[in-house]
Amino acid sequence: MRSLVEIDLVAVAANTRRLCELAGEAEVWAVVKADAYGHGAVEVGRAAAAAGAARLCVATLDEAGTLRAALPDVPLIVLSPLAPGEEELIATIGCAVTVATAEGWTALRERPEIDVHIKVDTGMGRWGLAPDEAVAIGNEIASGPRPERLAGLMSHLATADDDPDGFVDQQLAVFRAVAARFPPCPRHLANSAALLRRPDLLFDAVRPGIALFGVDPMGRAATDHGLAPVMRWTSSVRSLRTLPPGASTGYGRRFVADQECRVALVPVGYADGYPRVLSGAADVLIRGVRCRVVANVSMDQLAVLVPDGLTVVGGDEVVLLGSSGDEHVTAEELAQLAGVIPWEILCGVRSASDRGLRLARG
């Protein structure tokens, strides 16, 4: 086995309970799209629902079908618009869907058995109806043969995790104005960042995603919010080499030894989701000590400089993401070094035939 990804379902449950506390009277609808950001949608969804998440949110009907087969009693919401023809499949899955375009509503208008959430564009500029369109469709449903199919009014925040210009307040004003004209139903707007920092955005339900996995969307310490990391990714020292002065390791001779040193070879690379841009910048943990990734990250291998005085032997655990002793490598840290967002780090840890997966249930 080249690497092992451990998913702490006890942490998922604890994070869910903490998010429920922060949400107050609002329900928590856990977002588990993209296979729960690479953590495993079925297991994470089951743990979150058992810990208090009232609903699970996914991006596609395929994702909803996978969850429904495993979790027959958990309410599901598909957040992205359906592809043409998919409305024929909804009844077999049993989930609510999102109406974000006039065409989407046309396809669902004559299907009163399907519950819908009306999405209004308040400034994200992607999917979403204009305010007047959203209100008109909401009123049409409320006066139709099955008004209870109107399951929610929603929108999506563009800058909740980084809002130097106060754009969140502009979106909030639009959403409140639409909500004031809209028929009674649950209102939901807040994502993870809004839930953690803007209690005025909670409304009737919140849709946390990244926070569920113990990651701060602002790139700070999630522990400050009482959240614990869920994913731990490890490999092992496959080989040790001693380099004399002037010798190099890896493509491009990025690392050239200026004195005799030891380098540990680790069988993980960018094919496994460890970003090449972390070459020469990121640390891994061996025996609780930070060790720098020095050479260019290869497709299936890292070269790690062993600090003077650290005893390392073949087979030693190498922590790529997670904790060892008192040291921690977080998704937020790797994202900052890579110039990306933590979502990309977590989703990038790819499955492979020689990668293991361990679920910690407590």
211 and 297 share one domain: no
Residue 238's domain spans which residues?
A: 231-329
pLDDT (0 to 100) of residue 297: 97
CA end-to-end span of the chain = 24
- Give the model's confidence band at 362: pLDDT under 50 very low, under 70 low, under 90 confident, else very high: low
pLDDT (0 to 100) of residue 352: 44
Q: Tell me which residue of 228, 236, 163 sits closest to 201, measured CA to CA.
A: 163
pLDDT (0 to 100) of residue 218: 86
- Give the model's confidence band at 91: pLDDT under 50 very low, under 70 low, under 90 confident, else very high: confident
Is 189 a domain residue?
Answer: yes
Measured CA to CA, the distance from residue 143 to residue 137 in angstroms comes to: 10
Q: Kindly tell me if the per-residue pLDDT of 67 is higher than 80.
A: yes
Looking at 172, 193, 223, the residue that finishes a domain is 223
Residue 314, domain CATH: 2.40.37.10
Q: What is the average pLDDT across 277-282?
A: 97
60 and 160 share one domain: yes
Q: What is the average pLDDT across 328-353?
A: 89
Q: Kindly tell me if the per-residue pLDDT of 257 is higher than 50.
A: yes
160 and 268 share one domain: no
pTM to 2 decimals? 0.94
116 and 216 share one domain: yes
158 and 130 share one domain: yes
77 and 190 share one domain: yes
Looking at 195, 223, 251, the residue that finishes a domain is 223
Both tokens of 6, joined, read 């451990």
Q: How many independent structural domains does the chain possess? A: 2
Is 142 a domain residue?
Answer: yes
28 and 54 share one domain: yes
Looking at 223, 253, 281, the residue that finishes a domain is 223
Measured CA to CA, the distance from residue 311 to residue 221 in angstroms comes to: 30
pLDDT tens digits for range 293-337: 999 999 999 999 999 999 999 999 999 999 999 999 999 999 999
242 and 214 share one domain: no
* Beta-strand pair 327-329/239-243: unpaired
- Give the model's confidence band at 86: pLDDT under 50 very low, under 70 low, under 90 confident, else very high: very high
Q: Kindly tell me if the per-residue pLDDT of 354 is higher than 50.
A: no
pLDDT tens digits for range 173-226: 999 999 999 999 999 999 999 999 999 999 999 999 999 999 999 888 889 999
pLDDT (0 to 100) of residue 143: 96
In the chain, the percentage of residues whose pLDDT exceeds 70 is 97
Distances (CA, A) of 344 to 115, 116, 131, 205, 259: 32, 30, 32, 26, 36
Is 81 a domain residue?
Answer: yes
Is 195 a domain residue?
Answer: yes
212 and 313 share one domain: no
Cβ-contact 231, 39 below 8 angstroms? yes
Is 41 a domain residue?
Answer: yes
pLDDT tens digits for range 130-168: 999 999 999 999 999 999 999 999 999 999 988 888 999
208 and 306 share one domain: no
Is 3 a domain residue?
Answer: no
Is 357 a domain residue?
Answer: no
- Give the model's confidence band at 292: pLDDT under 50 very low, under 70 low, under 90 confident, else very high: very high
- Give the model's confidence band at 360: pLDDT under 50 very low, under 70 low, under 90 confident, else very high: low
198 and 299 share one domain: no
Q: What is the DSSP letter of 81?
A: P
Q: Tell me which residue of 212, 225, 228, 215 sits closest to 47, measured CA to CA.
A: 212
Name the residues annotated as catalytic.
33, 251
Q: What is the average pLDDT across 219-234?
A: 92
142 C-beta neighbours (distance < 10 Å), count? 15
Residue 141, domain CATH: 3.20.20.10
Q: Kindly tell me if the per-residue pLDDT of 41 is higher than 80.
A: yes
140 and 257 share one domain: no
**What mean pLDDT value characterizes the chain?**
94
pLDDT (0 to 100) of residue 357: 64
Is 181 a domain residue?
Answer: yes
